[in-house]
C-alpha cells in the first residue's frame, strides 16, 4: 500500500511538472481621444501621449510573447484637432485612429460615449473601416430591441477560446445631442452582462471571458465604499459583484490609471490619451474539460521616455501635416490678453477668456444669461497678437453645441451652489475640493456665468455660499422664469446638474461652440479683452458697530460701497445703526491673500 501511495505521488508530481500551460497577454488602451502623434496640439510641443508611442510598446511585447490580444475600451474618434479635422473638414480618407489600429492588429474596439459626438454617419463610416469587430452589447435598436452593434467577439488563441464582451455606459442620452443617437436605446450594462456572460459561458463555452466596459469604478476596489455619487454612470464594481464568470475587466471613461484585482479578477484602466498601456497576463493550464486560469497579473506601462514608432508616424504623416497647416491659419487679432495665468485664480474671479466665451454664446443664442467652464488646467487662451484656429480649439476642446433652456431662478441658484462646492477654505486659503479631483478630475463641471452677478462666499458651508445674486441690477427671483444658454452636455443635466434635466428647450444653436468662437473672431477681425467683474469668490467678515459709527464712514473704513453695505445687511434706514449691531461685509478673496489683518484678528 505504501509503495502504491509513493508511486501515485511520483506520478502526480511528474504530471504537475509537465502539465501544459500557456500565457495569454491582453494589452489594453482606452480614452485615446484622437491622439496618435506625441504632441500637445494647443502648444504644438512634445507630449507623452498617443498611439505612436503605444505602438512601440505593443511591438516590444509582441516580440516577447506569442499570444497577445489588443483591445480598446472606447472614446477613440473624438478629442483632438486631428479627429475634428477628419470628421468636419475632410472625412473621405480612412479614420486615422482606425488606420493605426488596423496596422497594430487590434482584436476589438468597444464604443465609448464620445464616439457619438459627430453623429452616426461619421461613426458608422469609422466602424466600416475597422478590420476588427466594434462591440457594445447594451446599445440596442429602439424599434426592435436587437443589438445595434456586435455584442461580443470570440477569438481562438493557441487552442484557447476567448470571449470579449463589449459594454458602454448607459448615461449617453444624458449628454449626447439626440440627433446623434436617433433610434438607439442604452440599456443597463449590468443586466445585459448577466445575459451575455451566460451565453458565452454555457453556449459558446469560452475558456476565458474578458469584459471591456466603457465605464469606470464607482467604489473603492479594496473597501467597496463609494468614491462618487452612485448615478449609474459608472458600474464596474457592481458588474464584478453581480455578474459571475468574468475573468478580466477592462475599463475606461474615468481617465484613471488603475491596475488592481477585485475578487482576484484583474481590473485595468490605462488613463487617457495613450499615456499608459494596460497589460494583463493570464497563465492557463490545460484540464480535462478545457483551460483554467491559475495565475494573473495586471500593470500599467507608461509611455514616458518611449520613442514613437516610425511606421505609425509615417502612416499618418499626411493627416498630421494637413491638420497642422489648418491649425496655424490666423483668423483675427487680439487687443489685450485672453489668458489664464493660474487656473485656480481663474475660477476665483471673473476673467477675460471665460467672459469672452460666454458673450459669444449669448450673442449667437440670443440668451441674456450664459455659463461655461474652464475644461481643464492646461487651457491657456491667447495673448495680444494674432489668433489662430489652434488657439480656439485649444480653449474649447469639446464638440459641444448650445441649447437655450427655460429655468427658474432657484435652478440657477442651485447650479451656482453646486459649482461653489468646488472650493474648500481652510487656514485662510482656498483650494480645490478633493471630491472634484478624486478619483477623476472634474474641473469641466465648475461653471462660470455671465449676464448675472454673484458672489461665492468661501468661508460659508457648501450649499450656502451664493450671495448677492442679481439680474439686471435686481435680486434674481427664485420663482421667475429665465432663459439661459448652456452647452448641450450641461443642458441635459450632465455633470450632476440635475436641476437642468428635462427643462423646456427654447431653441438650439447647432454649430459647435469652437466654430462659433472662430466665426466671431473672423467676422470682427479684431477683438478686445474686457472684464465686467460680475462675479467673484469672497470672504465674509463681521464688524461690530461702535459709538460714533455711521454707515458712510464705515463703508470707507471697510473698503466697500455704501449701497453694498446697506443691501448686504438689509438696512431699511441707513441713519439707524446702533452700538453692538453686527454688520456683514465681503472682500474679494484674492485681495485677502496673503491674509489681511481682519482675518488674523488684529
Does residue 444 or residue 574 have the better pLDDT?
A: 444
Instruction: Specify whether 438 is located in the same domain as 572.
Output: no
The grid cell for 28 is: 489594453
Instruction: Specify whether 314 is located in the same domain as 383.
Output: no
Which of 322, 354, 371 lies at the terminal end of a domain, its last residue?
A: 322
Average pLDDT along the chain: 93
Which of 484, 500, 533 lies at the terminal end of a domain, its last residue?
A: 533
Tell me, yes or no, whether 12 lies in a domain: no
- Start-to-end C-alpha separation, the chain: 94
Instruction: Specify whether 121 is located in the same domain as 252.
Output: yes
Sequence-distant (6+) residues with CB within 8 A of 63 are none
Instruction: Specify whether 154 is located in the same domain as 40.
Output: yes
Kindly tell me the sign of the dihedral angle through the C-alpha atoms of 488, 492, 497, 499.
positive
Tell me, yes or no, whether 359 lies in a domain: yes
Is residue 593's pLDDT more than 80? Answer: no
Tell me, yes or no, whether 39 lies in a domain: yes
Which of 474, 508, 533 lies at the terminal end of a domain, its last residue?
A: 533
Q: Give residue 18's pLDDT.
A: 44
- pLDDT tens-place string over residues 402-454: 999 999 999 999 999 999 999 999 999 999 999 999 988 999 999 999 999 99
Q: In the 3-class helix/strand/coil scheme, how is 255-311 assigned residue by residue? A: CCEEEEEECCEEEEEECCCCCEEEEEEEEEEEECCEEEEEEEEEEEEECCCCCCCHH
Instruction: Specify whether 335 is located in the same domain as 365.
Output: yes
| C-alpha span between 35 and 37 (Å, rounded) | 6
Instruction: Specify whether 337 is located in the same domain as 474.
Output: yes
Instruction: Specify whether 559 is located in the same domain as 512.
Output: no
Q: State the CATH number of the domain containing residue 386.
A: 3.90.780.10
- Give the start-end residues of each E strand in 346-480: 369-373, 381-382, 385-388, 402-408, 423-426, 429-432, 447-450, 453-457, 466-471, 474-475
Domain that holds residue 298: 19-322
Tell me, yes or no, whether 487 lies in a domain: yes
Q: Can you name the residues that pair with 78 across neighbouring β-strands? A: none
Q: Give residue 596's pLDDT.
A: 45
Q: State the CATH number of the domain containing residue 560.
A: 3.10.350.10
- Using pLDDT thresholds of 50, 70 and 90, give the confidence band for residue 594: low
- Using pLDDT thresholds of 50, 70 and 90, give the confidence band for residue 293: very high
Most confidently modeled of 172-186, 341-355, 588-602? 341-355
Instruction: Specify whether 267 is located in the same domain as 346.
Output: no
Q: State the CATH number of the domain containing residue 243.
A: 3.60.21.10
Instruction: Specify whether 168 is located in the same domain as 288.
Output: yes
- Using pLDDT thresholds of 50, 70 and 90, give the confidence band for residue 509: confident
Is residue 13's pLDDT more than 80? Answer: no
Q: Give residue 349's pLDDT.
A: 97
Secondary structure percentages of the chain, helix, strand, coil, to 5: 30, 30, 40
Tell me, yes or no, whether 7 lies in a domain: no
Q: What is the DSSP letter of 428?
A: T
Is residue 508's pLDDT more than 90? Answer: no
Q: Can you name the residues that pair with 354 across neighbouring β-strands? A: none
Q: Give residue 174's pLDDT.
A: 81
Tell me, yes or no, whether 74 lies in a domain: yes
Number of domains in the chain: 3
Is residue 1's pLDDT more than 70? Answer: no
Tell me, yes or no, whether 11 lies in a domain: no
- pLDDT tens-place string over residues 525-566: 999 999 999 999 999 999 999 999 999 999 999 999 999 999
Q: Give residue 20's pLDDT.
A: 79
Instruction: Specify whether 415 is located in the same domain as 371.
Output: yes
Q: Give residue 559's pLDDT.
A: 92
Instruction: Specify whether 279 is located in the same domain as 159.
Output: yes
Q: Give residue 177's pLDDT.
A: 83
- pLDDT tens-place string over residues 214-271: 999 999 999 999 988 898 999 999 999 999 999 999 999 999 999 999 999 999 999 9
- pLDDT tens-place string over residues 21-55: 999 999 999 999 999 999 998 888 999 999 999 99
* H/E stretch holding 490: helix 488-491
Instruction: Specify whether 546 is located in the same domain as 522.
Output: no
Does residue 41 or residue 132 have the better pLDDT?
A: 132
Tell me, yes or no, whether 3 lies in a domain: no
Amino acid at each position: 500500500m505504501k509503495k502504491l501511495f509513493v508511486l501515485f505521488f511520483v506520478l502526480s508530481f511528474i504530471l504537475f511538472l509537465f502539465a501544459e500551460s500557456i500565457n495569454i497577454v491582453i494589452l489594453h488602451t482606452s480614452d485615446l481621444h484622437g491622439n496618435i502623434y506625441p504632441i500637445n496640439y494647443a502648444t504644438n510641443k512634445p507630449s507623452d501621449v498617443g498611439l505612436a508611442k503605444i505602438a512601440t510598446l505593443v511591438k516590444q511585447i509582441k516580440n516577447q510573447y506569442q499570444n497577445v490580444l489588443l483591445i480598446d475600451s472606447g472614446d477613440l474618434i473624438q478629442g483632438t484637432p486631428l479627429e475634428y479635422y477628419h470628421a468636419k473638414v475632410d472625412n473621405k480618407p480612412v479614420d486615422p485612429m482606425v488606420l493605426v489600429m488596423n496596422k497594430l492588429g487590434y482584436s476589438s474596439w468597444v464604443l465609448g460615449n464620445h464616439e457619438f459626438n459627430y453623429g452616426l454617419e461619421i461613426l458608422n463610416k469609422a466602424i466600416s473601416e475597422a478590420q476588427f469587430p466594434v462591440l457594445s452589447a447594451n446599445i440596442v435598436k429602439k424599434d426592435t430591441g436587437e443589438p445595434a452593434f456586435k455584442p461580443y467577439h470570440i477569438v481562438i488563441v493557441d487552442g484557447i477560446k476567448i470571449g470579449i464582451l463589449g459594454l458602454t455606459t448607459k448615461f449617453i442620452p444624458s449628454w449626447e445631442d439626440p440627433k446623434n443617437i436617433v433610434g438607439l436605446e442604452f440599456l443597463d450594462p449590468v443586466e445585459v452582462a448577466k445575459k451575455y456572460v451566460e451565453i458565452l459561458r454555457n453556449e459558446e463555452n469560452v475558456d476565458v471571458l474578458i469584459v471591456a466596459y466603457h465605464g469606470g469604478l464607482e467604489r473603492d476596489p479594496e473597501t467597496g465604499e463609494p468614491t462618487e455619487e452612485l448615478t449609474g454612470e459608472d458600474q464596474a464594481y457592481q458588474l464584478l459583484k453581480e455578474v459571475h464568470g468574468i475573468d478580466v475587466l477592462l475599463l475606461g471613461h474615468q481617465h484613471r490609471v488603475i491596475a488592481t484585482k477585485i475578487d482576484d479578477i484583474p481590473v485595468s484602466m490605462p488613463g487617457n490619451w495613450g499615456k499608459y498601456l494596460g497589460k494583463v497576463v493570464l497563465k492557463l493550464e490545460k484540464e480535462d474539460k478545457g483551460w483554467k486560469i491559475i495565475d494573473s497579473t495586471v500593470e500599467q506601462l507608461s509611455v514616458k521616455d518611449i520613442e514613437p514608432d516610425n511606421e505609425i508616424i509615417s502612416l499618418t504623416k499626411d493627416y498630421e501635416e494637413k491638420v497642422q497647416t489648418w491649425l496655424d491659419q490666423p483668423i483675427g487679432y487680439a487687443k489685450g490678453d485672453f489668458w489664464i495665468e493660474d487656473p485656480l485664480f481663474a475660477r476665483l474671479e471673473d476673467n477675460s477668456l471665460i467672459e469672452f466665451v460666454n458673450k459669444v454664446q449669448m450673442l449667437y443664442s440670443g440668451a441674456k444669461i450664459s455659463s461655461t467652464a474652464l475644461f481643464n488646467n492646461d487651457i491657456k487662451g491667447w495673448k495680444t497678437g494674432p489668433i489662430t484656429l489652434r488657439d480656439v480649439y485649444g480653449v474649447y476642446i469639446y464638440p459641444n453645441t448650445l441649447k437655450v433652456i427655460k429655468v427658474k431662478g432657484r435652478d440657477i441658484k442651485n447650479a451656482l451652489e453646486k459649482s461653489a462646492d468646488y472650493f474648500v477654505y481652510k487656514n485662510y486659503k482656498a483650494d480645490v475640493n478633493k471630491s472634484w479631483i478624486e478619483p477623476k478630475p472634474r474641473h469641466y463641471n465648475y461653471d462660470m456665468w455671465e449676464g448675472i452677478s454673484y458672489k461665492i462666499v468661501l468661508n460659508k458651508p457648501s450649499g450656502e455660499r451664493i450671495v448677492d445674486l442679481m439680474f439686471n441690477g435686481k435680486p434674481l427671483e427664485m420663482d421667475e422664469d429665465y432663459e439661459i444658454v448652456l452647452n448641450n452636455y450641461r443642458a441635459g443635466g450632465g455633470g450632476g446638474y440635475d436641476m437642468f434635466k428635462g427643462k423646456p428647450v427654447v431653441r438650439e444653436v447647432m454649430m459647435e461652440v469652437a466654430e462659433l468662437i472662430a466665426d466671431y473672431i473672423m467676422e470682427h477681425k479684431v477683438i478686445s479683452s474686457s472684464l465686467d467683474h460680475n462675479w467673484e469668490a469672497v470672504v465674509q467678515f463681521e464688524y461690530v458697530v461702535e459709538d460714533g459709527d455711521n454707515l458712510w464712514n464705515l463703508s470707507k473704513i471697510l473698503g466697500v460701497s455704501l449701497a453694498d453695505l446697506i443691501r448686504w445687511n438689509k438696512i431699511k434706514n441707513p441713519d439707524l445703526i446702533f452700538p453692538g449691531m453686527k454688520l456683514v461685509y465681503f472682500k474679494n478673496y484674492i485681495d485677502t491673500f496673503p491674509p489681511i489683518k481682519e482675518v488674523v484678528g488684529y
